[in-house]
């Protein structure tokens, strides 16, 4: 069984590699490469795979999951400029995929119980683009 909890945060970023020219950055990242940055409303959906506990009837207490998402993701990233304020994005380009991978990294340390494991991180950058990081199982 898969269970999913959603969280939202807004942040600004710019996608550029300083060793490349403006033209090369534009080729890779399009408008996302504008130097002064811009913002998005991000939505992250975190999916766990597991079976409900026979006594509580829950895979994991979603309240607890909400608190973990708040602590690990929303609190550090919400209303921040990712490149300047949220490591590792001082060194790693904060593309949707890299932000999703960083969220996976932060959560996989915390979200592993006896009865469940992290199955998917889906990060929406606006309504029409999203990246999935999965452990190979398709939720």
| Binding window for another protein (CB under 8 A); candidates: 5-13, 50-58, 74-82, 91-99 | 91-99
Q: How far is the CB of 133 from another protein (least distance, A)?
A: 6
Compare residues 57 and 136 and give the one whose CB is closer to another protein: 136
Is residue 45 close enough to count as binding another protein by CB under 8 A? Answer: no
Is residue 133 close enough to count as binding another protein by CB under 8 A? Answer: yes
Q: How far is the CB of 129 from another protein (least distance, A)?
A: 5
Is residue 97 close enough to count as binding another protein by CB under 8 A? Answer: yes
Pick from 10, 71, 8: nearest CA to 45: 8
Residue position matching structure tokens 């999203």: 130
Q: What are the strands of the beta sheet with 80-81, ordered from one edge? A: 80-81, 2-13, 38-50, 116-125
| Binding window for another protein (CB under 8 A); candidates: 24-32, 41-49, 53-61, 73-81 | 24-32
Pick from 26, 40, 21: nearest CA to 94: 40
Residues 6+ away with beta carbon under 8 Å from 119: 2, 47, 48, 49, 134, 135, 137, 139
User: Which residues contact another protein (rule: CB under 8 A)?
Assistant: 15, 17, 27-30, 92-98, 100-101, 104, 127-136, 138
């Amino acid at each position: 069984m898969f269970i999913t909890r959603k969280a939202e945060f807004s942040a600004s970023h710019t996608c550029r590699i300083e060793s490349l020219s403006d033209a090369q950055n534009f080729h890779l990242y399009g408008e996302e490469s504008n130097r002064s940055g811009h913002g998005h409303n991000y939505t992250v959906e975190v999916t766990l795979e597991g079976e409900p506990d026979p006594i509580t009837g829950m895979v994991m207490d979603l309240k607890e999951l909400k608190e973990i998402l708040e602590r690990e993701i929303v609190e550090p990233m919400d209303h921040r400029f990712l490149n300047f304020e949220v490591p590792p994005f001082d060194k790693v380009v904060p593309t949707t995929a890299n932000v999703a991978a960083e969220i996976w990294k932060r959560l996989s340390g915390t979200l592993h119980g006896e009865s469940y494991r992290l199955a998917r991180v889906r990060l929406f950058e606006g309504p029409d683009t999203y990246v999935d990081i999965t452990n190979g199982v398709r939720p």
